[in-house]
Amino acid sequence: MAPSYRPYAGGEEHDAQRRKKKNKAGGLWGGDPAEMKRRRRVAGYKAYAVESKVKASIRRGLHWIKAKCAHIIRT
């Protein structure tokens, strides 16, 4: 038995149209092998960028700690 209160009801037609568009485009993951290779390559670039940002952040944090400790020792 379906609930009587459905605040987001009424979008069944829209959902069906969206599913048809996804099927035509090759599905959710992009059915074309070249497109998959491109997405995997781009994901690698993004991972590399995030890795370098994390390394830089750790470096800055260690530099700050070192400077703070040196300041405390001098004072």
Assigned domain for 66 exists: yes
Give the span between the Cα atoms of 64 and 75, in whole angstroms. Answer: 16
The per-residue pLDDT for 74 is: 92
Q: Give the chain's domain count.
A: 1
49: containing domain:
32-75
Q: Record the pTM.
A: 0.48
50 is a domain residue? yes
Is residue 48 one of the residues assigned to a domain? yes
pLDDT at 67: 97
User: What does the pLDDT profile of the chain (75 residues) look like in tens digits?
Assistant: 555 666 666 656 656 666 655 555 555 555 789 999 999 999 999 999 999 999 999 999 999 999 999 999 998
Structural Rg of the chain based on CA atoms: 26
Q: Is residue 3 part of a domain?
A: no
Q: 26 with 32: CB under 8 angstroms?
A: yes
